[in-house]
Amino acid sequence: MRLGINLALVALIGLFVWVLISGIREPILFKAELDKRERAVENRLKQVRMAQEIHREITGGFAPSFDSLNTVLRNGRIPTISVFGDPDDPSNTEAIRYDTSYVNAIDKVTELSLPLDSLRFVPYSPAGTEFSIFADTLTYQSTLVHVVEVGIEQEKFMGKFADATYKKYDDSYDPSRFMKFGDRNAPNTSGNWE
pLDDT tens for each residue of the chain, 194 residues long = 787 887 887 888 888 777 777 777 888 888 999 999 999 999 999 999 999 999 999 999 999 999 999 999 999 999 888 888 777 777 776 777 888 888 999 999 999 999 999 999 999 999 889 999 999 999 999 999 999 999 999 999 998 888 888 888 888 889 999 999 999 999 999 999 87
Taking a C-beta distance cutoff of 8 angstroms, is the pair 22, 155 a contact?
Answer: no
Q: Please tell me the predicted confidence (pLDDT) of residue 96.
A: 79
Q: Please tell me the predicted confidence (pLDDT) of residue 27.
A: 85
Buried b / exposed e along 100-130 (16+ C-beta atoms within 10 A): eeeeebbebbeeeebebeebbebbbbeeeee
- How far apart, in whole angstroms, are the C-alpha atoms of residue 104 and residue 81? 14
**Bridge pairing between strands 132-140 and 97-104:** unpaired
pTM of the entire predicted model: 0.82
